[in-house]
């Protein structure tokens, strides 16, 4: 007997979910694939301010030893083994509409991605409607906390225990300095990267706008 049920409301959706597995089901052939392996890494986050973020990388993804020595083949492999996007979302009790405003794949930017959502025990189950993939074949992508033991074509996400993560303390004017060896830095050439971030206002306007600044030298 299936334990799947509709979500009780958007409150049940809020939080961060950890990906367990993801599969692709080919509609024409009835075949199930695991393009990112049996255990890809990923997170899905739904915020109370109405924003969603998803990122997934392939299992055993190649890790370059030196960012300054990447070849075009290396860059293509890194691009082909990640899915990442963010935007705003709405939820009607059965479907979440992800209105994408930033994506690893610019084809998705400005689009509305539909995700069907149900609960399976304590796990969120997310599926797509049939759509053409990069190979032109129509398929569905699905997720469930049951992993490989669930219905064909489904992977999984596991909810975070929110009680273990108290809300972060707010800080103003925070400046973080590094050694210049972070992502994209060239060790032999001193550089300074400055990132300015504005906190997006909550829908109920109860949160104040804040900015923080970090510098890497």
Walk me through the domains of the chain, giving residue ranges and CATH numbers: 4-161 (2.40.128.280), 172-217 (no CATH)
Least confident of 73-77, 98-102, 166-170, 210-214: 210-214
pLDDT band at 181 (very low <50, low <70, confident <90, very high): very low
Nearest-CA neighbor of 210 among 198, 193, 202? 198
- What was the pLDDT predicted at 139? 87
The answer to whether residue 176 scores a pLDDT higher than 70 is no
**What backbone phi and psi angles, to 5 degrees, belong to 149?**
-85, -5
- What was the pLDDT predicted at 209? 38
- Tell me the pTM: 0.68
- CA dist 126 and 111 (Å) reads 18
The answer to whether residue 60 scores a pLDDT higher than 70 is yes
pLDDT band at 198 (very low <50, low <70, confident <90, very high): low
Name which residue leads in pLDDT, 194 or 22: 22
- CA dist 166 and 29 (Å) reads 47
User: How would DSSP label each residue in 108-168?
Assistant: TTT-EEEEEEEEETTEEEEE---EE-TTS-EEEEEE-TTGGGSSTTEEEEEE--GGGSPPP
Alpha helices in the chain (DSSP H): 72-80
- What was the pLDDT predicted at 105? 94
The answer to whether residue 73 scores a pLDDT higher than 90 is yes
- What was the pLDDT predicted at 217? 32
């Amino acid at each position: 007997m299936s334990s799947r049920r509709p979500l009780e409301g958007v409150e049940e959706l809020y939080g961060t979910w950890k990906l367990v597995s993801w599969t692709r089901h080919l509609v024409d052939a009835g075949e199930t694939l695991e393009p990112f392996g049996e255990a890809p890494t990923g997170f899905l986050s739904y915020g109370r301010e109405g924003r969603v973020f998803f990122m997934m990388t392939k299992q055993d993804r190649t890790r370059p030893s030196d960012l300054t020595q990447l070849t075009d083949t290396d860059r293509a492999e890194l691009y082909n083994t990640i899915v990442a996007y963010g935007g705003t979302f709405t939820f009607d009790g059965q479907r979440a509409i992800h209105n994408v405003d930033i994506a690893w794949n610019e084809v998705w930017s400005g689009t509305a991605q539909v995700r069907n959502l149900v609960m399976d025990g304590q796990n969120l189950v997310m599926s797509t409607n049939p759509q053409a993939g990069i190979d032109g074949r129509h398929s569905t992508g699905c997720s469930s906390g049951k992993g490989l033991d669930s219905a064909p074509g489904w992977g999984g996400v596991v909810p975070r225990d929110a009680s273990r993560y108290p809300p972060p303390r707010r800080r103003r004017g925070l400046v973080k300095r590094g050694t210049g060896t972070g992502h994209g830095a060239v060790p032999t050439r001193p550089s300074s990267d400055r990132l300015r971030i504005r906190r997006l206002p909550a829908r109920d306007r109860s949160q104040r706008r804040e900015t923080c600044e970090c510098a890497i030298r």
